[in-house]
Amino acid sequence: MRNTDQLSIKGRDKLISELGYWPDFCDAKVFELIFRKDAEAGLELSLTLQYIDMELNHELLVKIVFHGVSNMRFDELMIDNVIDKLSISDSLVVEIEAAIGLFGHCKCKTIDVDVIASKPFKPA
């Protein structure tokens, strides 16, 4: 993923402090996906991902909320969805490339990120 330093992503510092970098979310499992339409706020997309960094042995549950969504197109939603790459452009165009299932893109006005859970990764 590109450097997110110039992007206004609320909560990005917390995610970076957990991992030491902003991830591409490669092999992240889609844990939850919610679309909300509000008369005042417009369309909101909430994506909760289970992300594991094998090198750091670290597992995170990360919630990313895209506010003011427009120009949205997503395809291939399945029971299990795994991201290959999540990228965000300077103009807040979000692109999700799929390893399995869900892929697509949208434009948004703002982005919030929250680390919901963080723990050492223990392989089964």
What are the residues facing 52 on neighbouring strands? 59
The reply to whether 14 falls in a domain is yes
**pTM of the predicted structure, to 2 decimals:** 0.92
How many domains are there within the chain?
1
At residue 34, the pLDDT reads: 96
Full residue range of the structural domain in which residue 47 is found:
9-119
2-27 burial by CB neighbour count: b if 16+ within 10 A, else e? eebeeeebebbeebbebbeebbbbbb
- pLDDT values of the chain reduced to their tens digit, one per residue, 124 residues: 445 555 789 999 999 999 999 999 999 999 999 999 988 878 999 999 999 999 999 999 999 999 999 999 999 999 999 999 999 999 999 999 999 999 999 999 999 999 999 999 988 7
The reply to whether 2 falls in a domain is no
